[in-house]
Amino acid sequence: MAQLWGGRFTKQTDDEVFAFNESLSFDHRLFAQDIDGSVAHVVMLEKQHIITLDEKDAIVKGLTSIKNEVESGKLEFTSEYEDVHSFVEAKLIEKIGDAGKKMHTGRSRNDQVALDMKLYVRDEIVAIDSLIKKLLETILCTMENNLETYMPGFTHMQKAQPTTVAHHFGAYFEMFKRDRSRLADIYKRMNYSPIGSGAFAGTTYSLDREYTASLLGFEGATLNSMDSVSDRDYIIEFLSALSTVMMHLSRFSEEIIIWNSNEYRFVEIDDAYSTGSSIMPQKKNPDIAELVRGKTGRVYGALVSMLTTMKGIPLAYNKDMQEDKEVTFDAIDTVKDCVHLFTGMIATMKFRKDVMAKSAMMGFTNATDAADYLVKKGMPFRDAHGVIGRLVLYCIEKDCCIEQLPIEELKEICDLFDVDVYDAITLKTCVEKRLTKGAPSPEQMKKVIEIQREYLNKDVEENEK
């Protein structure tokens, strides 16, 4: 084992203790961020005349070649190092000698790990955001292509009123759009640099923390050095936002699983996104949707784990905080896989338009519209509700839908019915007449789609800036 301390100790760390304590086996993920952070730190140290130009150049050169060697596979993360920070420092000293020993001037692993993790989460926010954006593109295309794909909308899992696939998918567009805005908020709030806070009490060197922060693309430097090293709020917020993304994906998956079931047959998941059974030859299972739904649990787990880890930690740094890494990394990997695969699944999924429309027709989803018809003929809504309720009961007994009854029979139930009722309660009319903002009529949906298109395009311009 190669350690960063020794002076105060008379014995080597016990092997099991070392293995329990180490984090290199997982924090090597922070390698690129660790190098970037160290480069910025030493550039600042030189600007402040804390190290010489030659020393800075030697360190930067050394760090760059360590980075290249790791990337090319020439240098491996071997288990004698405690964490990524000690690994990099040891390799640097091996490579450039005494100048390497100056890299850690005015810094502690506490502010260093706080920085690395922030840089990492910041990068991952951007990566996850762009995956969600691709999902939104796919949802919007589905909306554009299904303005008049009728389906029943449900409340209490009972057919309620007719809607369209465009409208239903539009609801998910809103959810994932909010997810992106949540991630953007977190990015903004967390974007302050902790480096230069030292162990927790700052340092006596004249560091220019604002300068280091600006080199690393932060909005500025954090204002309290104790908080800098012990703040993991942004990880909790991030995991909470990821949990919400998963909650949305899970709801969507649940619907797709139901729609894909033998009873519903609203959609057909593409063969490429389905799996078979080892025993039942007829089966085509929606495993991807089920796994996305299932993996939601582990992302929630990461959030609860972090909340619990943090709740009892006194200021400032405590080793408990090392526990932030594995759960966060796992949540990030899970969310990225889920968003990506889910996008492919819905992009290739087929809608059985006939089955959906028939289902909407057969479920009395036009009952509200039939009541509204009577209201337009002068009947108060509450009375109309009662009449249509009786009419539905009558239809259930006759095993038919409202529009299948001849006008004479309708008139027997209520003399306000006329032949124009048939037109008033077709699926098409029911949907087309729903013109309130946010409602499923193609006319309204087109307006919404235009707004969402603009939102996605504007985003591209902003990213290119």
Min dist CB 312 to ligand ARG, Å, is 16
- The count of other CB atoms within 10 Å of the CB of residue 254 is 14
Name the segment binding ligand ARG (CB under 6 A); options: 36-44, 105-113, 174-182, 343-351.
105-113
Q: For strands 150-155 and 350-351, give the pairing.
A: unpaired
Residue 446 to residues 152, 166, 292, 389, 441, Cα–Cα distance (Å): 20, 10, 30, 34, 9
Pick the binder of ligand ARG from 3, 285, 322, 429 (CB under 6 A).
322
Total binding residues toward ligand ARG, as defined by CB under 6 A? 10
Q: Please confirm, yes or no, whether 168 is among the known catalytic residues.
A: no
Q: Please confirm, yes or no, whether 277 is among the known catalytic residues.
A: yes
Min dist CB 203 to ligand ARG, Å, is 15
The one catalytic residue among 49, 156, 206, 278 = 156
Could you say whether residue 109 binds ligand ARG (CB under 6 A)? Answer: yes
Could you say whether residue 3 binds ligand ARG (CB under 6 A)? Answer: no
Site string for ligand ARG, 11-30 (x = CB under 6 A): ------------x---x---
Residue 312 in contact with residue 228, Cβ under 8 Å?
Answer: no
Min dist CB 106 to ligand ARG, Å, is 16
Closest CB to ligand ARG belongs to which residue? 322
Name the segment binding ligand ARG (CB under 6 A); options: 107-115, 277-285, 361-369, 404-412.
107-115
Give Cα 351 distance to the centre of its chain: 26
- The count of other CB atoms within 10 Å of the CB of residue 37 is 28
Could you say whether residue 83 binds ligand ARG (CB under 6 A)? Answer: yes
Min dist CB 227 to ligand ARG, Å, is 16
The one catalytic residue among 25, 79, 181, 277 = 277
CA-based Rg of the chain, rounded to a whole angstrom?
30
β partners of residue 285: 275
CA angle 284, 289, 294 (to 5 degrees): 120
> 70 CB contacts (<8 Å, ≥6 apart)?
31, 76, 77
Pick the binder of ligand ARG from 33, 38, 110, 296 (CB under 6 A).
110
Q: For strands 350-351 and 267-268, give the pairing.
A: antiparallel
Distance CA 300, CA 210 (A): 35
Identify which of residues 90 and 247 has a Cβ nearer to ligand ARG in the complex. 90
- Strands of 303-461 (E only): list them: 350-351
> 82 CB contacts (<8 Å, ≥6 apart)?
1, 3, 4, 18, 21, 22, 23, 24
Min dist CB 108 to ligand ARG, Å, is 7
Identify which of residues 77 and 264 has a Cβ nearer to ligand ARG in the complex. 77
Could you say whether residue 317 binds ligand ARG (CB under 6 A)? Answer: yes
Distance CA 220, CA 346 (A): 41
- Binding to ligand ARG (CB under 6 A): which residues in 220-249? none
Annotated active-site positions, please? 156, 277
Footprint of ligand ARG on this chain (CB under 6 A)?
23, 27, 83, 109-110, 113, 317, 319, 321-322
